[in-house]
Amino acid sequence: MNTYSFKIQNLKCGGCGNTVTKNISEIENVENVTIDLEESIVTFDAIENGPEEVKKKLTSLGYPLEDELNSTLSKAKSYVSCMVGKMTK
């Protein structure tokens, strides 16, 4: 198992962090998910296709990687994900 870190966009608060942590932790073969809110970095341990699955999930939640397109739709998705994260603490 390897450790990966991705710098992501639209990470604003603990609600966002909760949503990202919960959803990434549900991916098979992904463990030990942590969020650095100040640096907008998600770190996790994974094997095989884990990093690609994490990238897909982050994008679907509205948190694309730093070097990816951050569209208006991504920003809107991140606001919804943030609210869900705040309500499910």
Residues 38-79 have pLDDT tens digits of 999 999 999 988 899 999 999 999 999 999 999 899 988 888
Phi and psi, residue 18, nearest 5°: -60, -45
Token pair for residue 49? 């296709």
Residue-level pLDDT at 89 = 60
Token pair for residue 5? 């870190």
Better pLDDT: 81 or 6: 6
pLDDT > 70: percent of the chain: 99
Ordered structural domains, the chain, with CATH: 2-87 (3.30.70.100)
